[in-house]
Amino acid sequence: MNSTNLSFKETFFIGLLLFAVFFGAGNLIFPLSLGQASGTNLLPAILGFLATGVGLPLLGVIAIGASRNEDVQTISARVHPLFGLIFPVVIYLTIGPLFAVPRTGTVSYEIGVAPFLSESFKASKLSMLCYTAVFFAVTYWLSLNPGKVVDRIGKILTPVLLIILAVLLIKSFADPLGGFQEPLVAYEGAPFFKGFQEGYLTMDTIGSFIFGLIVINAIREKGVSNPSQIAKVCTIAALIAATGLALVYIGLGYAGATSVDTLGHLENGGLIISQISHLQFGVYGKLLLGTAIIFACLTTSVGLVVACASFFRKIRPTISYKTYVIVLSVVSALISNVGLTQIISFSVPVLVTIYPTVIILIVLTLFGPFLKNRNAIYTFSVLFAGLVSIADGLNAAGLGSAALNEFLSAYLPMFSLGMGWLLPAIIGGGIGFLVSLRQNSYVLEKA
């Protein structure tokens, strides 16, 4: 079968598709919060955020494109067969009913509904309960037949949301609400590394394992079948999407950093963007932004529920797809009612724990062609880094050991910056390489 070469225009639209897939409305909230907290240290903080919020998802898509359609199960199984079963489940629960899907309900409520309600009604929590019940009922209904409805909503609402954001950000640059303030304590010492960890919250690096396959399927639908050509188009499309994401995040970070004078430090990014849009454009601007975000969150919610239900159906086919959709929708609705700030808070320890493993798998997958029959590199690198990232996760949850932290801070470079896993990962990879040499030598001797 002959493989078609795509024009730049076709590749550009695939890049826009990837941008739309990555750019859930929830991604709006984190650069704004980072901007408010980092203040005069915005530049290093936003660069750290871009490293994990844009750079790593970019590498994730390129890695999937270069790996010839391998999924997260296949890649994880290189660490160990049991790990290949457990880790993908953790990944899908994270981007599904535990954090990312509930977040679509809370973000759309905070930005699209709450600003128009009385304080007493919001305080009763009844408004959020009613809204999330309707939101996830619609998610359930659309997830059973996602098809053209969600696709059309996404194609219409993503450009609308981007136009609104572009106008908002241009206005914020042209007529900022205030100047830069001193950073909060968390961003005083090492703002780059704090921003690096904040980028975990987008969950886009985790999602790149799934979104990369979406891009590959879109490329194949255009008639491209040659693996090297698919990898090339994936790389260009990922660069296009990454450029768009970086521009949006930088603009939002600036808008957040210059809003403290007027707004003060608000609890979460949903409140920040709602207040900024109201001050810049009045009630009608806020209404337009809220409506666009509700629908954008809905398409994200449906996409994630469909992906999770399909995955769990694959590993446990005795349960119907419809049952998975019901369970995912109900659990997401219940969790969404704890509130946006609480969901973000609960997600941090989990993300701090699993992100180093995701990063390692992406990097090793990029070098996959040179690591054939060397799965020990995956095993030892993930094992060594995982021990440190578990300690980081416990610290993020407030459950860490003071004695252990003191020991690791003294002997492990960058542990206090949340990057203590890096050196163990490298050492583990080196040990794994030596083990693989021994294993391959043993196989040759037997042959």
pLDDT of 2 higher than 60:
no
pLDDT of 415 higher than 80:
yes
Q: SS3 letters for the chain?
A: CCCCCCCHHHHHHHHHHHHHHHCCHHHHHHHHHHHHHHHHHHHHHHHHHHHHHHHHHHHHHHHHHHCCCCCHHHHHCCCCHHHHHHHHHHHHHHHHHHCHHHHHHHHHHHHHCHHHCCHHHHHCCHHHHHHHHHHHHHHHHHHHCCHHHHHHHHHHHHHHHHHHHHHHHHHHHHCCCCCCCCCCHHHCCCHHHHHHHHHHHHCHHHHHHHHHHHHHHHHHHCCCCCHHHHHHHHHHHHHHHHHHHHHHHHHHHHHHHCCHHHHCCCCCHHHHHHHHHHHHHHHHHHHHHHHHHHHHHHHHHHHHHHHHHHHHHHHCCCCCHHHHHHHHHHHHHHHHCCCHHHHHHHHHHHHHHHHHHHHHHHHHHHCHHHCCCCHHHHHHHHHHHHHHHHHHHHHHCCCCCHHHHHHHHHHCCCHHHCCCCHHHHHHHHHHHHHHHHHHHHHHHHHC
- Greatest alpha-carbon pair distance for the chain in Å reads 77
Average pLDDT over residues 8-13: 84
The confidence score (pLDDT) of residue 147 equals 61
pLDDT tens digit sequence for 329-372: 999 999 999 988 899 999 999 999 999 999 999 999 988 777 77
pLDDT tens digit sequence for 373-383: 788 999 999 99
As a whole number of angstroms, the distance between CA 253 and CA 36 comes to 8
Task: Give the confidence band of 445 by pLDDT, cuts at 50, 70, 90.
Answer: very low
CB 249 within 8 A of CB 51: no
CB 36 within 8 A of CB 256: yes
Terminal alpha carbon distance of the chain = 37
Task: Give the confidence band of 155 by pLDDT, cuts at 50, 70, 90.
Answer: low
Pick from 65, 106, 110, 318: nearest CA to 216: 65
pLDDT of 1 higher than 50:
no
Chain mean pLDDT for the chain: 87
The confidence score (pLDDT) of residue 443 equals 40
Which range has highest mean pLDDT (151-155, 234-238, 390-394, 398-402)? 390-394
The confidence score (pLDDT) of residue 340 equals 86
CB 288 within 8 A of CB 274: no
387's tokens: 């021990």
* Residue-level length of the chain: 447
Other beta carbons within 10 Å of 383: 18
The confidence score (pLDDT) of residue 68 equals 67
pLDDT tens digit sequence for 265-303: 998 888 898 888 888 888 887 888 888 888 888 888 888
Other beta carbons within 10 Å of 322: 13
As a whole number of angstroms, the distance between CA 127 and CA 135 comes to 12
Pick from 404, 408, 428, 429: nearest CA to 419: 408
As a whole number of angstroms, the distance between CA 194 and CA 181 comes to 17
pLDDT of 227 higher than 50:
yes
pLDDT tens digit sequence for 57-109: 999 988 888 776 677 888 999 999 999 999 999 999 999 999 999 999 999 99
The confidence score (pLDDT) of residue 309 equals 93
The confidence score (pLDDT) of residue 444 equals 38
pLDDT tens digit sequence for 189-221: 899 999 999 999 999 999 888 888 778 877 887
As a whole number of angstroms, the distance between CA 15 and CA 327 comes to 33
The confidence score (pLDDT) of residue 319 equals 95
More confident residue, 17 or 443: 17
Average pLDDT over residues 416-437: 93
pLDDT tens digit sequence for 311-321: 999 999 999 99
pLDDT of 44 higher than 50:
yes
Handedness of CA 154, 301, 320, 317 (dihedral sign): positive
pLDDT tens digit sequence for 121-149: 777 788 999 999 999 999 999 888 766 65
Side-chain half-sphere of 331: how many Cα atoms within 13 Å?
17
Radius of gyration in angstroms for the set of CA atoms belonging to the chain, rounded to a whole number: 22
Task: Give the confidence band of 34 by pLDDT, cuts at 50, 70, 90.
Answer: very high
As a dihedral over the C-alpha atoms of residue 261, residue 262, residue 264, residue 269, rounded to 10 degrees, the angle is: -110
Give the domains, in start order, of the chain with CATH numbers. 8-349 (1.20.1740.10), 371-447 (no CATH)
Angle ∠(51,56,61) on CA atoms, nearest 5: 150
pLDDT over 70 for what percent of the chain? 93
Q: Identify the residue whose tokens are 């004078």.
A: 261
